[in-house]
């Protein structure tokens, strides 16, 4: 484990689906319906479609899929308490998702969540795994990359965090492919209560 992994950050950045909320999204099934390979990334695969009508149809299919997920979504246990802990510690909070603006706003409203900065695929030129979102977080909060902890659940999150050079924590939500890419994370945790306790102790030690 890298030195300083649990050092107090100035901003915590969160992914949304699979990290803060469980949307019960079956991307494997979606990709099969869309005619994409199991290993494809949906946004990138749609972007490569040349036929305009087909692309529009796929975008509509993705929108309906994500909206249904947002309607069914539930918060992961301890997520709200951890967000409150960030506030109590005076940490900035940002959201970085590959989801659409409409779905993101629905989720935030549904669970009464708020962030100092919300980045989604419609206000971000390059979505994860590109590091642009995390670079924008640094610019927005006027902080160095070392002052960020990024929490996600997917390989896209790990690649974005690694490329941006920020500490990246992987939330093991039970459906991650930890065997193949869990080692890319700076830290892996299974529940927010234990992460909160760990960081509380670490922050006290460095005060």
pLDDT tens figures, 37-68:
888 788 888 888 888 888 898 888 888 988 99
Stretch 8-35: mean pLDDT: 90
In a domain, 1, yes or no: no
Shared domain for 136 and 162, answered yes or no, is yes
CATH of the domain at 168: 3.40.50.1000
Percentage of the chain exceeding pLDDT 90: 68
| pLDDT for residue 143 | 98
More confident residue, 95 or 181: 95
Shared domain for 63 and 158, answered yes or no, is no
Stretch 108-123: mean pLDDT: 96
- pLDDT, one tens digit per residue, over 123-178 is 999 999 999 999 999 999 999 999 999 999 999 999 999 999 999 999 999 887 77
Residue 206 has pLDDT above 80, yes or no: no
In a domain, 45, yes or no: yes
Predicted structure pTM score:
0.92
Residue pair 16/66 in contact by the 8 Å Cβ criterion: no
Shared domain for 47 and 116, answered yes or no, is no
CA 170 to chain centre: 10
In a domain, 6, yes or no: no
Q: How does residue 207 score in pLDDT terms, banded at 50, 70 and 90?
A: low
Shared domain for 54 and 115, answered yes or no, is no
Shared domain for 158 and 196, answered yes or no, is yes
In a domain, 3, yes or no: no
Number of structural domains the chain divides into? 2
**Domain span including residue 38:** 27-72
Q: How does residue 181 score in pLDDT terms, banded at 50, 70 and 90?
A: confident
Shared domain for 67 and 109, answered yes or no, is no
In a domain, 158, yes or no: yes
């Amino acid at each position: 484990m890298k030195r300083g992994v649990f050092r107090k950050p100035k901003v915590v950045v969160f992914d949304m689906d699979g990290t803060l909320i469980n949307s019960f999204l079956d991307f494997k099934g979606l990709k099969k319906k869309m005619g994409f390979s199991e290993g494809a990334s949906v946004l990138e695969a749609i972007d490569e479609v040349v036929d305009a009508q087909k692309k529009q149809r796929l975008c509509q299919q993705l929108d309906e899929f994500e909206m249904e997920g947002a309607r069914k979504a539930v918060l992961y246990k301890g997520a709200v308490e951890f967000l409150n802990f960030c506030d109590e510690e005076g940490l900035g909070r940002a959201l970085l998702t590959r989801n659409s603006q409409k779905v993101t706003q629905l989720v935030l409203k549904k669970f009464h969540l708020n962030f100092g900065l919300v980045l989604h695929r419609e206000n971000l030129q390059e979505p994860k795994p590109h590091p642009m979102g995390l670079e924008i977080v640094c610019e927005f909060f006027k902080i160095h990359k070392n002052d960020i902890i990024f929490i996600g659940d997917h390989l896209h999150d790990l690649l974005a965090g690694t490329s941006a050079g920020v500490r990246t924590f992987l939330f093991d939500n039970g459906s991650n492919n930890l065997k193949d890419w869990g080692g890319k994370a700076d830290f892996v945790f299974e529940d927010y209560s234990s992460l909160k306790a760990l960081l509380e102790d670490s922050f006290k030690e460095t005060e």
